[in-house]
């Protein structure tokens, strides 16, 4: 879960993806590589269905317990060494962007820094309602640029902020949680995610 730009939804996506794996019955560890510790704070507030560790505590935990999935939340602008480590070690690399032009250009710069032949997918998040054209334009732009964008995006919904404030999975938030979770359930049906879950 990575991006060059800050505030594009990496942590929110990492938490939701971890929830998705946990809901499928897997034991998940989310490693929070961001010095801002947003994922750890989310995890410490309440009741996530998986554990959150930092890069400092993860090794000890992994030596003690076996996990089916390790999800990594990076800070904005990972270094090239961090990118190489990520690329080498993971089964699914998700590059996150919002429909904003600046976010898409940061994404382009980041993917150019990936080692050749890196396998990754782009997750478009904070997608506005269809009454605004920005989401469709962004999907179109990403496809035109030849970027491997997942066809299921994640809608822009207030409920994500409530979920992080309450330290809960988004589907546990009464107002709007179910609607938000539909996107993740649809995402799980796409081949790259489905492959991991089977
Ligand atoms: N789908 C969404 N709809 C609405 N708001 C969202 C969505 N995803 C994330 N947000 C909000 O956008 C803000 C930034 O999200 P998040 O912390 O996940 O981004 P980030 O890329 O991890 O940021 P940073 O670079 O600071 O680590 C948060 O306030 C979050 O609640
Ligand atoms: Mg973050």
Q: What is the pLDDT of residues 29-69, one digit of tens each?
A: 999 999 999 999 999 987 899 999 999 999 999 999 999 99
| Backbone φ, ψ for residue 128 (5° rounding) | -70, 165
Judge contact between 181 and 170, C-beta under 8 A.
yes
Residue 160 CA to ligand 1 centre (angstroms) = 8
Q: Which CATH architecture has domain 10-193?
A: 3-Layer(aba) Sandwich (3.40)
Quote the CA–CA distance of 140 and 166 in Å, as a whole number: 35
Residue ranges of domains in the chain: 10-193
Say if ligand 1 is within 6 A of residue 34 CB.
yes
- Weakest-pLDDT range from 98-102, 114-118, 168-172, 180-184: 114-118
Residue 94 CA to ligand 2 centre (angstroms) = 14
Closest ligand 1 atom, residue 7 Cα:
23
**Ligand minimally distant from the alpha carbon of residue 8:** 1
pLDDT band with cut points at 50, 70 and 90 for residue 192: very high
Look up the pTM and report it. Answer: 0.97
């Amino acid at each position: 879960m990575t991006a060059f730009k800050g505030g594009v939804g990496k942590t929110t996506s990492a938490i939701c993806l971890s929830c998705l794996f946990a809901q499928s019955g897997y034991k998940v560890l989310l490693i929070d590589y961001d010095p801002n510790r947003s994922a750890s704070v989310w995890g410490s507030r309440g009741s996530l269905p998986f554990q959150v560790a930092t890069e400092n505590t993860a090794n000890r935990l992994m030596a003690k317990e076996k996990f089916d999935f390790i999800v990594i939340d990076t800070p904005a602008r990972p270094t090239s060494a961090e990118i190489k480590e990520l690329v080498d070690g993971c089964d699914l690399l998700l590059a996150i962007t919002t429909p904003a032009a600046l976010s898409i250009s940061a994404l382009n710069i980041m993917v150019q820094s990936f080692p050749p032949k890196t396998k990754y997918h782009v997750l478009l998040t904070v997608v506005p309602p269809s009454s605004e054209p920005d989401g469709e334009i962004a999907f179109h732009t990403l496809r035109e640029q030849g970027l491997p964008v997942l066809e299921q995006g994640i809608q822009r919904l207030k409920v994500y902020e409530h979920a992080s404030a309450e330290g809960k999975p988004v589907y546990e938030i009464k107002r709007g949680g179910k609607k938000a979770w539909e996107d993740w359930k649809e995402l799980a049906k796409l081949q790259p995610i489905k492959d991991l879950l089977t």
